[in-house]
Structure formats: C-alpha cells, structure tokens
C-alpha cells in the first residue's frame, strides 16, 4: 500500500517536472512582445508655414483655409480686383503625443495679415524699355493710347484750315502682362496725364536781345514764379542778353507725330500810286482808289513731331484775286505868302536847350521852360498845316508862312487852339504849352525851317 502511494506521488512529480520543462522550453523559442503604439494616445496637429517660415500651430486645418478664403474675399472687395496671395503657404499635418500649444487665432490671423501680400493680374505699359505705368488690363492700356491719339487728332483738326491725315505715337509701346499689387494700378485718366506730361527736364536758355522773363516763361509753358524757382538766387526781372536761365520743362513719355495738310492765304503786295492835284493843299491827301493786296491760297503738307514742324512741302497754289493799286492824290496848291519874314518869340520862358548837338543827338530847335498852360502864339502870319498828336513831339502845331519857304513848329503842347487850314495872324494864340510826347518837363519846343531845313531860331529874332 505504501509502495503504491509512493509510486503515484513519484509519477505526479515527474509529470509536473515535464510540464515545467515544456513551458521553459517554449519560452526559449519566443521573443518578448513589442510595446503597442496604438495603445499609446497620439494627437494630430498642423504646422503653418509662409515661404518656409514657421508662423504657428493649429489643430484645425479647415479653420486656416477658411481664414485665408475670408482674407482673400475682403481684399477683393477692398481693391475691386480678383487677387491671390503672392507668398507660398503650407499647412503640414503632424502627429505627436505631446503636440505644441495651438497659436491663438487672433495672433495667427494678425501674423498672417502682416506677412502676406496680394497680387492681381495686370498689364504694364512699357515705352522704350522702361515701364511707365501699370493698368488693370490690356483693354484699358489700348484705350488710353487710342484716346490720346484721338484727342490730338481732334485738336489738330479743330482748325477749319487743317486736314489731318494721320496721328501716331513715335515711340515703341509694349503691353507686358505681370502680377502687380492692386495699389500700384493707376487710373486710366491719370495714366494719360503721366504719358503726356512725363518727367521734368532741365534745359539752359540763353537770353536773347529784347527777351523778357515773362516772354521766356510763356514760350516754355511756365509761369514767372516757376521760372524764379528754377533759378534760385537769380533776379529774373533784370536779365541781359547772354545770361543763362534754367528752364524746367516737361519731358513726355510719348511723342505724337501728325501728318496734315493746311492752307493759308499769301498776300501779294499791291502798288501805291501817288498823283498830284493842284486843287488840294499840300497837307491834303485824297484816296482815289483803295488798294488791296492780291490773295493766293497755298496748301502745304506738314509733318509735326512733338508739336514741332519737321518737314513741309507745298502741295498747291491757287490764285484767288489780283492786287489792286492804291491811288492817292497829293495836294500841290501853293500856300499864299502870308509871312513877313520877321518872327517873334512864341512864348515867354527860360531857355533850357539851344539849337545844335547835345548828349542825346542833334537838337533841331530851342526849348523854353514854362508852366503847363502858358499861351503859345504864332511867330508870324501863316496857314496851319498840322495840329494834333505826333508821337515824340507830342501835341504839335505846324504853320506854313508861305509856299513852304518858312515853316515854324510848336511841340509838346497840352492842347491846340487852331485847326488845319486856319490862317493865323502873328501873335495870335494857337495853343498852350505842356509836357506831351517825349519830354523831360513842361516846356515849349520851337523850330524854324527854311525850305525844309531846320535853322537856329535865335538868329531870326529882331531883339
């Protein structure tokens, strides 16, 4: 009985040991299991890049795309153009068990607005290899050029004597498609001004004889004030021939060339024929036939560039009318011998200038200083042949004392008291002294001419 339980216990022990061995053996033929990644919590987030620069983090990529769409819509409304973002934007998905904190939306939005720039499709106007303006599209660019040409055509054709054949832009103009900031796109009317005005250019002008600052400025299209600002430190009101002035003038981007025909009337001078008439006094003139120049209509072909004529050719000449001779009758009637040959001083005054040479040239009479309004008397009997204003001599009276042999002159009067054709006595008041014409002060200029030659009046007075 004891032997049975002993054998049974031994059998159980052997079985247990075998089982343990198998378990150990099995363990030596398997590897330990890896850590299960899925059993660890992972979180997806997104990194936001602008041109490879990290600007923030978010867990909602859709929010970023919605934000960009809203920004583009706002910019499109503000600018009036279809726009796109110029910079490259990337939203990169990432996974981490410890993701970075999301960037606050208001900070991320502000940062994107600061970094991003918008562009739209535009067209640059290029002249001579230089971009001078940017417009919205090629249609606008072409309409601007067409308007400039049409306006110049209308301006040249507004003269009824001119027929315009063509107007064209001299420079080569190109339209270049390009992306542009909407803020750089210029209004078409402003572009027109830019093309026509261009930039400022400074040129030197040498003052010519007779030129004034006003005339120089007007010719250059400037005001006198603009001329003064272009020449700081210079007194443009006191300029002399040979002086140099700076002129700041417009240098247009485009030059307009026009080909046109223009007609004008060329006058053919008429002859003047003088006939004598002994029924008329020497100072009398009668027009027997009014003269008139002949007319020829001349048509010319003119090429203008930048407003300057560069070529001209005569196309035709048409005679419209022949000249008409101007015929005048000149009186030769002899003035009676009124004078005595003895002269009196025409007025009392102080002799201030005698007969002969003086600083300003030869003096053909004498000057007697006296107050304005002093009566002036005829030096001898005679016929008045002139009474009125005569330029440098001012108001003047001329008296023929007989057949033109003796003639007296009274100049710089304030007024006359006789008329042409009057016969006056010696000592008769004929006018009043003054300061008219080219005069240095109130005085009477008195002359005696013998057969047309001025003589010294002093030698004709008896005392």
What tens digit of pLDDT does each residue of 304-347 get?
998 889 999 999 999 999 999 999 999 999 899 999 889 999 99
C-beta separation of 210 from 250 below 8 A: no
Q: What percent of the chain has pLDDT over 70?
A: 91
Is pLDDT at 276 greater than 80 in this prediction? yes
The CATH number of residue 279's host domain is 2.20.230.10
Helix, strand or coil, per DSSP, at residue 218: helix
- Of the candidates 367, 370, 445, 366, the residue with the CA atom closest to the CA atom of residue 412: 445
Please check whether residue 31 lies inside any domain of the structure: no
Give the domain extent around 209.
Answer: 199-251
| Shared-domain flag, residues 366 and 447 | yes
Please check whether residue 276 lies inside any domain of the structure: yes
* Range 241-266 average pLDDT: 92
Residue 463: per-residue pLDDT: 55
Please check whether residue 211 lies inside any domain of the structure: yes
| Shared-domain flag, residues 210 and 193 | no
Residue 33: per-residue pLDDT: 45
Please check whether residue 343 lies inside any domain of the structure: no
CA distance 106 to 67: 11
Residue 16: per-residue pLDDT: 41
CA distance 292 to 321: 10
- How many C-beta atoms lie closer than 10 Å to residue 436's C-beta? 21
| Shared-domain flag, residues 386 and 446 | yes
C-beta separation of 424 from 418 below 8 A: yes
- Of the candidates 377, 278, 283, 380, the residue with the CA atom closest to the CA atom of residue 338: 380
> Reading across the β-sheet that carries 53-58, which strands appear in turn?
53-58, 43-50, 89-96
Please check whether residue 26 lies inside any domain of the structure: no
Is pLDDT at 12 greater than 50 in this prediction? no
Helix, strand or coil, per DSSP, at residue 119: strand
The CATH number of residue 244's host domain is 3.10.350.10
What tens digit of pLDDT does each residue of 190-206 get?
999 999 988 888 889 99
Q: Which of 251, 270, 294 corresponds to the end of one domain? A: 251
The CATH number of residue 366's host domain is 2.70.70.10
Residue 128: per-residue pLDDT: 85
Residue 22: per-residue pLDDT: 32
Residue 37: per-residue pLDDT: 45
Of 34-48, 107-121, 134-148, 344-358, minimum mean pLDDT range? 34-48
Is pLDDT at 127 greater than 80 in this prediction? yes
Is pLDDT at 31 greater than 80 in this prediction? no
C-beta separation of 427 from 374 below 8 A: no
DSSP E strand stretches across 75-191 = 84-85, 89-96, 118-127, 130-135, 162-169, 173-180
| Shared-domain flag, residues 246 and 299 | no
The mean predicted confidence, pLDDT, of the chain is 88
| Shared-domain flag, residues 151 and 64 | no
Q: Give the global pTM.
A: 0.59
Residue 167: per-residue pLDDT: 96
What tens digit of pLDDT does each residue of 93-110 get?
999 999 999 999 999 999
Residue 40: per-residue pLDDT: 55
| Shared-domain flag, residues 355 and 455 | yes
Please check whether residue 308 lies inside any domain of the structure: yes
- Of the candidates 283, 424, 282, the residue with the CA atom closest to the CA atom of residue 346: 424
DSSP state string for 263-325: EEEEEEPPPEEEEEETTS-TT-EEEEE--B-EEEEEEEEEEEETTEEEEEEEEEEEEEE--B-
Counting Cβ atoms within 10 Å, is residue 393 exposed (0-12), middle (13-18) or buried (19+)? Answer: buried
- The count of residues in the chain is 463
What tens digit of pLDDT does each residue of 34-74 get?
444 454 578 999 999 999 999 999 999 999 999 999 999 99
Residue 8: per-residue pLDDT: 35
């Amino acid at each position: 009985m004891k032997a049975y339980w002993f054998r049974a216990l031994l059998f159980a022990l052997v079985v247990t040991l075998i089982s343990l061995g198998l378990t150990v053996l099995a363990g030596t033929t398997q590897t330990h299991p890896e850590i299960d990644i899925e059993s660890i919590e992972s979180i997806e987030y997104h990194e936001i890049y602008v041109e490879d620069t990290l600007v923030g983090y978010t867990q909602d990529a859709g929010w970023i795309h919605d934000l960009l769409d809203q920004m583009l819509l706002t910019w499109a409304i503000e600018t009036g153009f279809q726009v796109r973002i110029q910079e490259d934007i990337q939203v990169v998905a990432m996974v981490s068990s410890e993701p970075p904190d999301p960037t606050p939306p208001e900070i991320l939005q502000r940062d994107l607005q600061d970094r991003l720039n918008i562009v739209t499709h535009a067209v640059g106007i290029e002249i001579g290899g230089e971009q001078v303006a940017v417009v919205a599209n090629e249609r606008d660019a072409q309409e601007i050029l067409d308007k400039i040409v049409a306006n110049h055509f209308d301006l040249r054709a507004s003269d009824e004597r001119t027929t315009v054949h063509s107007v064209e832009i001299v420079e080569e103009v190109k339209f270049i498609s390009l992306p542009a900031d909407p803020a750089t796109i210029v209004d078409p009317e402003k572009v027109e001004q830019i093309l026509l005005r261009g930039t400022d250019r400074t040129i030197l002008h040498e003052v010519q004889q007779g030129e004034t600052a006003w005339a120089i400025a007007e010719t250059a299209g400037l005001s006198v004030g603009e001329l003064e600002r272009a020449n700081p430190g210079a007194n443009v009101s006191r300029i002399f021939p040979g002086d140099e002035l700076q002129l700041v003038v417009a240098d247009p981007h485009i030059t307009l060339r026009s080909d046109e025909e223009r007609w004008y009337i060329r006058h053919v001078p008429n002859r003047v024929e003088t006939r004598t008439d002994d029924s008329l006094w020497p100072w009398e003139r009668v027009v027997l036939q009014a003269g008139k120049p002949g007319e020829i209509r001349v048509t010319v072909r003119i090429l203008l560039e930048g407003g300057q004529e560069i070529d001209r050719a005569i196309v035709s000449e048409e005679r419209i009318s022949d000249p008409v001779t101007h015929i005048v009758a000149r009186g030769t009637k002899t003035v009676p011998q009124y004078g005595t040959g003895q002269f009196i001083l025409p007025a009392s005054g102080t002799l201030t200038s005698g007969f002969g040479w003086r600083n300003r040239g030869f003096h053909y009479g004498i000057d007697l200083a006296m107050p304005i309004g002093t009566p002036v008397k005829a030096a001898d009997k005679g016929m008045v042949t002139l009474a009125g204003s005569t330029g440098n001599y001012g108001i003047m009276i001329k008296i023929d004392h007989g057949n033109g042999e003796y003639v007296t002159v009274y100049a710089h009067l304030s007024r006359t008291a006789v008329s042409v054709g009057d016969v006056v006595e010696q000592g008769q008041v004929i006018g009043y002294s003054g300061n008219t014409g080219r005069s240095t002060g109130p005085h009477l200029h008195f002359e005696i001419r013998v057969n047309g030659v001025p003589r010294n009046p002093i030698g004709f007075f008896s005392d």
